Chains A and B, each alone.
Chain A
Amino acid sequence: MKKILAIAWKDFRITYRDLTALLVNIAAPVAMTLVMSFAFGGSDTGFSQIPVGIINLDGGMIGDIFINTFESEELAAYLLPEQYTDIETALNALESDKLAAVIVIPDGMSDMLNDPSGDDSAPISNDGLKIELYPNITRPVSVEIIESILDSILIDLNAGFAAGSLGFSQLIQEGLVTTEELSNGLGEAIGEKLEPIFGDGSSQVTLDAVYQEADSDTGFSWLSYMAPSMAILFLSFSMTNSARSILSEREKGTLPRLLISPNHPGVVLVGKMMGTYIIGLAQVFIFLVISRFLLNVHWGGTVQVFVFTVVMVLSVASWGILVASFARNSGEASAVGTAITLVFAALAGNFIPRGNFPEWLKTIGYITPNAWGIEGYLNMINGATFSDMLLPMVVLLGMSILVLMTAGYFFQRQYRN
């Protein structure tokens, strides 16, 4: 074990004495996170309409307004609304990434606007009746767009209330406004129509929405998406570079010298792998710390972030080691490693969130450690607990074992004399 650590520590020292490696491993992902956040922070769409699930438990006028708005022709080019009857089904669709968000309009929302007592001076409570929005964390910009639409409806409706102090039901009953008009005019017209009728009435009802991600202490941002994406992308590059050092050592003659020391060749190989691994660990942990304080990325609970990182780096490193195991020279390893890194990055959504990919492409993405890594970090950013992270950790660990065993086979074939 001492010799394995000696080889690993030697590789670590050599790597981090190199200014280029420091720039590539540490500075570049931070810079790229910032650049990508600024460059693409406005959209994760552009490929398809945003699928949004709506559960109208209200069944009254307010529910109709929301349904009509989300299904309006003006938004048809951007939204793909689908009505659900129960929350569980909708949340399952959200979980499986079929929806960008789920909006729940609670039962009794419209009734709230009708004062059953007929006493207009008494305040009407809407406690506990709030429109809920469940976001898909892998589609940050889609969620932001839906939130904006929701906010817009709420603001306009509330403006209408402020102007009129009247239940919408009365407006409709009196034939002054239709639900279609309410939805299309988004409430502003309501206020205008109510003003001359109801004069100086004061607001008694306020509609509000609850955004479920507010349960985590961070919320979601494009920066939070790009931080893990860039961390994993540059980790992939550095792992390929580091793993190919075994081929560089062969070319420079230090590997033969290691192999004629009185050690089993496996010690040398494991030492080299361990070196690659600790270089990757250092790279990611340094990035996590820098991004926390410099970019204000809240990665989530320390324990799960630590354990997940340990497993995730192993998985990414194993792919780099696999490339080194079958490449005939360091140049070939570099070329193949770069190609694999870029293909994995594209499949896994290192550049563009996978939420916008077709289903089949999303599924293919799961062969990469990148996809599991990005999703894992995003889940933790949004408050996932240690037990929530068990599945991705087990998958990444299993992938590492499989890939390292394959690499071991290729190494044995290549270095057997």
Chain B
Amino acid sequence: MKDNKPQPILEAENLVRMYGKFPAVDQISFAINKGEIFSLLGPNGAGKTTTISMLSTLLKPTDGTARIAGVDILTNSAGARKAIGVVPQDIALYNDLTGLENLQFWGSMYNLGGKDLHIRAEEILDRIGLSDKKNQRVRTYSGGMKRRLNIGAGLLHRPSILFMDEPTVGIDPQSRRMILDLVKELNRDGMSVLYTTHYMEEAQELSHRVGIIDHGKMIAIGTQDELTALVGEDEILRLHTLDSQVIEQSCLDELAALSGVHSVSRIDGQIILNVANAETSIADAIAVANTHQVKITSVDIEEPNLEAVFLHLTGRALRD
């Protein structure tokens, strides 16, 4: 009889990383199943990169451990490293080598060589859409092209799980779309992915399951449906203002005190309210804004999403 129980490719148990007395990661536990895309969603400084650094054996955990493909990262770090591919947040490539030379070098670090390495590098270049640029030095590449090659370098040795640390930071929408599509394509081919981001939309689009991380702690974990259920039937009322608009705290306090409003936060030129019923709260919210000379330029009503979950759990917006 076939066992349908999900097989974990990664299991993290009570990972802790202290910097002096400051816990950058505090007792984080989660598992990723084979063939799953798991996103760690959290604001900058939440502990996402530190978590990936520990899992990739670059940083030694202060406490706790993890197993990757059944191999303990503390007792057999070299074995664990064979199973993972890492796409770091920084573009970790050599600008004075060509795209092909970069892939050949990184492949050689994973015991690939000779004809196999050359064929594999060509395959990867084709997959990331850089075959026609393979003999150009990386310094001539655009930011998006570098990002794609950065991913390609992590795929050469056919890892069991790919760690991607905010791979779309600072790139144009077209390249971002290309990368998200590539992640989905890799996953369709069976690759497990640990994806960190502070973009709610990316986590929402890609992930089978999401872990929400804040101040080094995993504050929620589950599928998107499971997470949005945490905020109940709440809707999001998003009030757009001018970017230069000054919004006083007293205005936010008054909005939070309105009937049916569960939480309020401000991000860039927006005021975001978690409300029981957006249609009934909209008029009162605008009236309060007017009282404080806050000019509302447009209003959006959204179904519950991961941002609402984060807002609900922390009282802050993701990009606060």
Docked CA distance A221–B79 (Å) = 60
- With contact pairs A17-B96, A262-B78, A262-B82 given, residues A10 and B91 touching in the complex (Cβ less than 8 Å): no
Chain B residues whose CB sits within 8 angstroms of the CB of A256 once the complex forms: 53, 58, 88, 92
Chain A residues whose CB sits within 8 angstroms of the CB of B108 once the complex forms: 2-3, 6
B81 touches A18 (CB 8 A): no
A197 on interface, CB distance cutoff 8 Å: no
Chain A residues whose CB sits within 8 angstroms of the CB of B53 once the complex forms: 256
A395 on interface, CB distance cutoff 8 Å: no
Residue-wise, chain A 1-29 has the 8 Å CB interface mask toward B (1 for contact) of 01100100010011001100000000000
Q: Tell me whether chain A's interface is mostly helix, strand or loop, or mixed.
A: helix
**A: number of interface residues (CB 8 Å):** 21
B59 on interface, CB distance cutoff 8 Å: yes
Chain B residues whose CB sits within 8 angstroms of the CB of A13 once the complex forms: 96-97, 101
Cβ-neighbour of A10 out of B57, B78, B105 (below 8 A): B105
A-B interface contact total, Cβ < 8 Å: 61
Residue of A nearest to B79 (CB): A262
Residue-wise, chain A 344-376 has the 8 Å CB interface mask toward B (1 for contact) of 000000000000000000000000000000000
B96 touches A253 (CB 8 A): no
Chain A residues whose CB sits within 8 angstroms of the CB of B57 once the complex forms: 260
Cβ-neighbour of B110 out of A14, A18, A262 (below 8 A): A262
B78 touches A260 (CB 8 A): no
- With contact pairs A260-B57, A262-B78, A262-B111 given, residues A10 and B97 touching in the complex (Cβ less than 8 Å): yes
Cβ-neighbour of B58 out of A3, A260, A264 (below 8 A): A260
Docked CA distance A10–B97 (Å) = 8
A14 touches B58 (CB 8 A): no
B97 touches A417 (CB 8 A): no
Cβ-neighbour of B94 out of A3, A10, A260 (below 8 A): A10
Interface size for chain B: under 10, 10 to 19, 20 to 34, or 35 or more residues?
Answer: 20 to 34
Docked CA distance A158–B130 (Å) = 83
A260 touches B111 (CB 8 A): no
B161 on interface, CB distance cutoff 8 Å: no
Nearest Cβ on chain B to A1's Cβ, whole angstroms: 12
A263 on interface, CB distance cutoff 8 Å: yes
Chain A residues whose CB sits within 8 angstroms of the CB of B91 once the complex forms: 253
Nearest Cβ on chain A to B85's Cβ, whole angstroms: 10
- With contact pairs A10-B105, A254-B92, A417-B58 given, residues A260 and B97 touching in the complex (Cβ less than 8 Å): no
Residue of A nearest to B154 (CB): A257
A264 touches B109 (CB 8 A): no
Chain A residues whose CB sits within 8 angstroms of the CB of B113 once the complex forms: 2
Docked CA distance A259–B60 (Å) = 13
Nearest Cβ on chain B to A6's Cβ, whole angstroms: 4
A173 on interface, CB distance cutoff 8 Å: no
Interface residues of B in 87-107 (CB under 8 A from A): 88-94, 96-97, 101, 105-106
- With contact pairs A6-B109, A261-B81 given, residues A253 and B58 touching in the complex (Cβ less than 8 Å): no
Residue of A nearest to B108 (CB): A6
Residue-wise, chain B 47-88 has the 8 Å CB interface mask toward A (1 for contact) of 000000100111110000000000000000011011010101
Chain A residues whose CB sits within 8 angstroms of the CB of B106 once the complex forms: 257, 261
Residue of B nearest to A10 (CB): B105
B78 touches A252 (CB 8 A): no
Residue-wise, chain B 145-184 has the 8 Å CB interface mask toward A (1 for contact) of 0000000010000000000000000000000000000000
Chain B residues whose CB sits within 8 angstroms of the CB of A253 once the complex forms: 88-92
Residue-wise, chain B 230-254 has the 8 Å CB interface mask toward A (1 for contact) of 0000000000000000000000000
Cβ-neighbour of B96 out of A2, A3, A18, A258 (below 8 A): A18
Residue-wise, chain A 397-413 has the 8 Å CB interface mask toward B (1 for contact) of 00000000000000000
B92 touches A257 (CB 8 A): yes
Residue-wise, chain A 264-286 has the 8 Å CB interface mask toward B (1 for contact) of 10000000000000000000000
Docked CA distance A116–B109 (Å) = 87
- With contact pairs A262-B110, A417-B59 given, residues A14 and B105 touching in the complex (Cβ less than 8 Å): no
Chain B residues whose CB sits within 8 angstroms of the CB of A17 once the complex forms: 96
Docked CA distance A258–B153 (Å) = 11
A-B pairs, top 8 by smallest CB distance, nearest first, are A253-B90, A253-B92, A261-B109, A257-B92, A262-B81, A6-B108, A262-B82, A14-B96
B interface vs A, CB < 8 Å? 53, 56-60, 78-79, 81-82, 84, 86, 88-94, 96-97, 101, 105-106, 108-111, 113, 153
Q: Can you name 6 extra interface pairs (CB under 8 A) apart from A256-B58, A417-B59? A: A2-B108, A6-B109, A17-B96, A260-B81, A261-B109, A262-B82
10 pairs across A/B with beta carbons < 8 Å? A6-B109, A10-B94, A10-B97, A13-B96, A13-B101, A256-B53, A258-B109, A262-B110, A263-B78, A263-B109
